[in-house]
Amino acid sequence: MTAREEIDKYKNEFASLRNASAEEKEEFDKRFRNFIRSKSVEEKKLYAAAFTESAKDEMKRAKKLADYVDAKIKRWNTSVNVAYSSIQ
């Protein structure tokens, strides 16, 4: 498994802990920290790069979603304004 695949696996597991107990979250943190500690300096660099790449991808995805929502809101506001002006 590549560094990016490992990071994505942990990212998905972290996301699934949204409604988990504090103990479950602590257990995840311990496992992730131990996983990273077990890696060599060179591997840690690869994992850091994979983490950064993954974070940037998520930021791009969030921006696309925000842009989509903004466009929908603008369209909705326009149609509401047109409908409202036709009532008056």
- Entry field: residues in the chain: 88
| DSSP annotation of 85 | H
Residue 81 has pLDDT above 80, yes or no: no
Is the model's pTM score more than 0.75?
A: no
Residue-level pLDDT at 80: 66
Rounded percentage of the chain residues whose pLDDT exceeds 70:
90
Question: What is the per-residue DSSP string for 28-84?
Answer: HHHHHHHHHHTS-HHHHHHHHHHHHHHHHHHHHHHHHHHHHHHHHHHHHHHHHHHHH
Pick from 3, 1, 4: nearest CA to 58: 4
